[in-house]
Structure 1
Amino acid sequence: MERLKIATAGESHGPAIVGIISGIPSGLSISEDHINALLAQRRLAPGRGSRMRDEADRCEILSGVRKGLTIGTPIAVLVRNISTEKWDSPPAKYPRPGHADWPGVLKRGFVDTRDVWERASARATVAQTALGAVAARALEELGVTLFSYIERVGPVSARVPEKLGERLVLAGESVISCPDPASSIRMLEAIESARERGTTLGGVFVVGALGVPPGLGDYTEPEKRLDGRIAKWMMSIPAVRAVEIGEGIAQAGMEGWEAMDGFAVAEGRVERTGNLAGGLEGGMTNGQPILIRCWVKPAPTQREPLPSFNIDNLEPGPALAERGDVCPAPAAAVIARCSLALVLLDAFLSKFGGDSMKELLERLDAYRVGKG
């Protein structure tokens, strides 16, 4: 991040999860309800585990907001954990394949894998979601619309309409945010089948944004390229294993003449003939909708534990059995939307500056007028 500073703290079964964000301009209208709405989407997404029935996930804004408006100081958000009974559990000795347990034990010399996964747990994304909700509220004022939808759950793939607008309408009507009504039903059935069998499923989702002006990001240094910064934040979400910008995978199999979004000039305006680039070229936004596709692996915790070993004596035994999500993809899509909000707002602030939302909006409006 260039303009925003973010810190999160808290463990899965500790007293609370905390997030702090610095750099939000003053004058932004924000309430706990704005944040709670996205926390609820994360908590109630299809495929969640039984713990989500216990957690309320209602936030408390501790600082940075007065009388419903940001005041330019760091914003601290706290979400209390209700399920804290496992905090003082006996040491967990059998790491789970596919989880942070074993690498974390090796890294820090722990004798209890819980010292790793209390923080490595996806529960920590509560803070990412809460802070992203603040950024999303600012982007809303800037005319940016964030969205996400599900393309695949386990073996079920959606038949996605060609037009983005149609995808978003259909996804908005779906319980699982899938733009294919028939596949939505099959996805929910696949999740329930996996739940009954005690296993887990992966999936694929798309996250994106409308209304983003061209010129955010930069091509001058690798760390300034916006596509790289977005990919970094997508990969920070637990269980996300691959990120695609636009239709990058399909482009890899095309010839050059068909893999580019052509130009068309009409009535003094430059239009694009497609959006294979997903709104990002050369590390910068190009004015097209931003489209990011993410692949999510199945959660590693199984009802019938996978083979493991005791970290003290290497004796074989079953991995830890812990309640978890059946399919993390729908919740990850919500977290990704909030993560994208953080990256995009940081890019807006880097481009336009402004200590207040009024200043930021004035500079953005002048830029848009100048670009026609």
Structure 2
Amino acid sequence: MLRFLTAGESHGKGLVGIIEGLPSNLKIDIDFINYELQRRQKGYGRGNRMKIEKDKISILSGVRGGITIGGPLTIFIENKDYENWIEKMDIHNDIKETITKPRPGHADFAGSIKYNQSDIRNILERSSARETAMRVAIGSISKLMLKEIGIDIYSYVTSIGIFEDKNNYDINHFKSADKSPVRVLNKSLEGNIIKEIDKTKDKGDTLGGSFKVISTGVPIGLGSHAQWDRKLDAKLAQAIMSLQAIKAVEIGDGINSSRNTGSNVHDEIFYNGRYFRKTNNAGGIEGGISNGEYIEIKAYMKPIPSLKKPLKSIDMKSKKEFLAHKERADICAVPAASIVAESIVAFTIAKEISIKFGGDSMQEIISNYNNYINTQK
């Protein structure tokens, strides 16, 4: 079964990812993976860290001659900023600096208590969103696998701060999100959002927002109604919630559906050589199973908890009131989060593809997929 692990700290030597269960004979396009990593580093409102890092992967195992060989695939991404943090992050020397003032909204406080750490840096380094660089690399490999059977993943930003885009778009629009520095499709909002980010930066504050991830070409039948932990929407929601700072997930028109009647919500079924719907309020999933329409997920991201003008906190050593620790961070990372979410969704769907059409090689998976699709005609 397809699975992965990541390791590494935000300012350590680098990030490591291991993917197990990839089929053999999948062509690995390193240029595509590095391009996806570049996409993650863009977006108006990012911090100075993105000026330092030039993320590129090194493949250490699992690929030979440009294709997967069936064994675990190991990836390494160097942290160039490590050179500036050796004294604070060296694995051998004594560490002189100790951080004891947790940031409200961050893993600092609860993580320090859970793992019995007197230095918050031992928590914040691993809980940092720097880890998402590796998840993008892993998700990019998943995208390569999905493209072999015609599945594509897109995303765009639907809101930042008070500015929200309530329009609905089709596939031709999804592809243009990267043309905007804040990844919005409604160009009339772009200028206002950029001004709001600048204003927030001047105040020493941060901004959150929301974004959509759309998966096209997903066949009917991924996931299952048979057990709670096999439901596709549940797996996707859990995966998206694992992304740092995400606080809510919506599938399809979930929130509006709760305020409406069944006759206005449920998507009628038609057939014209294939099954199709004229609406997609379900977001491509019914009963925990993909129904052949676009899978549409909306995620809501809170403002980043690292503030230039920090909030009140407690020194966990003295128990006295202090302002929270200040750590270099973005002002707004919603555009970057939407890119990361694409990879998270890609891996989750690739895993479901491997469950449904399981095989040890890409040829076997594609053959099983085609046979299944032909039964629906």
Shared fold by TM > 0.5?
yes
Answering whether residue 334 of structure 2 is matched by residue 336 of structure 1, we say no
Instruction: Tell me by how many angstroms 1:368 deviates.
Output: 1.5
Equivalent position amino acid for 2:51 in 1: R
Alpha-carbon distance in structure 1 between the residues aligned to 2:3 and 2:354: 12
User: Greater shift after overlay, 16-25 or 270-279?
Assistant: 270-279
Partner of residue 122, structure 1: 129
Equivalent position amino acid for 2:22 in 1: I
Answering whether residue 316 of structure 2 is matched by residue 311 of structure 1, we say yes
Instruction: Tell me by how many angstroms 1:9 deviates.
Output: 0.4
Partner of residue 349, structure 1: 354
Alpha-carbon distance in structure 2 between the residues aligned to 1:89 and 1:355: 50
The answer to whether the Cα contact below 8 Å between 1:170 and 1:180 also exists between their aligned partners in 2 is no
Partner of residue 93, structure 1: 100
Equivalent position amino acid for 1:106 in 2: I
Partner of residue 14, structure 2: 16
Partner of residue 300, structure 2: 295
Answering whether residue 109 of structure 2 is matched by residue 102 of structure 1, we say yes
Query: Which of 224, 234, 241 is 2:230 aligned to?
Result: 224
Equivalent position amino acid for 1:259 in 2: V
Q: What TM-score comes out, normalization by structure 1 length?
A: 0.96
Alpha-carbon distance in structure 2 between the residues aligned to 1:89 and 1:204: 40
Q: What TM-score comes out, normalization by structure 2 length?
A: 0.95
The number of residue pairs the alignment matches comes to 368
Query: Which of 131, 138, 148 is 2:155 aligned to?
Result: 148
**What aligned pairs does 1:41-80 form with structure 2 within 5 A after superposition?**
41-80=39-78
Query: Which of 127, 137, 140 is 1:133 aligned to?
Result: 140
Partner of residue 92, structure 2: none
Partner of residue 188, structure 1: 194
The answer to whether the Cα contact below 8 Å between 2:45 and 2:330 also exists between their aligned partners in 1 is yes
Identity %: 37
Alpha-carbon distance in structure 1 between the residues aligned to 2:364 and 2:54: 37
Query: Which of 233, 257, 264 is 2:239 aligned to?
Result: 233
Partner of residue 278, structure 1: 283
**CA 1:246–1:24 in 2, change beyond 3 Å: closer, same or farther?**
same
1:25 aligns to what SS in structure 2? coil
Alpha-carbon distance in structure 1 between the residues aligned to 2:164 and 2:208: 11
Equivalent position amino acid for 2:98 in 1: P
2:81 aligns to what SS in structure 1? coil
Equivalent position amino acid for 1:292 in 2: I
Partner of residue 375, structure 2: 370
Alpha-carbon distance in structure 2 between the residues aligned to 1:56 and 1:270: 45
1:243 aligns to what SS in structure 2? strand
1:53 aligns to what SS in structure 2? helix
Alpha-carbon distance in structure 2 between the residues aligned to 1:109 and 1:169: 46
Alpha-carbon distance in structure 1 between the residues aligned to 2:154 and 2:142: 14
Alpha-carbon distance in structure 2 between the residues aligned to 1:330 and 1:280: 25
Query: Which of 203, 212, 216 is 1:210 aligned to?
Result: 216
User: Greater shift after overlay, 93-102 or 29-38?
Assistant: 29-38
Alpha-carbon distance in structure 1 between the residues aligned to 2:293 and 2:270: 14
**CA 1:354–1:179 in 2, change beyond 3 Å: closer, same or farther?**
same
What is the Cα-based RMSD across aligned positions, in Å? 1.4
Instruction: Tell me by how many angstroms 1:173 deviates.
Output: 3.6
Partner of residue 327, structure 1: 332
Alpha-carbon distance in structure 2 between the residues aligned to 1:13 and 1:134: 25
Answering whether residue 259 of structure 2 is matched by residue 256 of structure 1, we say no
Alpha-carbon distance in structure 1 between the residues aligned to 2:96 and 2:253: 46
Q: Deviations over 1:155-180 (max 9, x none)?
A: 111242x3423541553542322110
Alpha-carbon distance in structure 1 between the residues aligned to 2:14 and 2:46: 20
Partner of residue 36, structure 1: 34
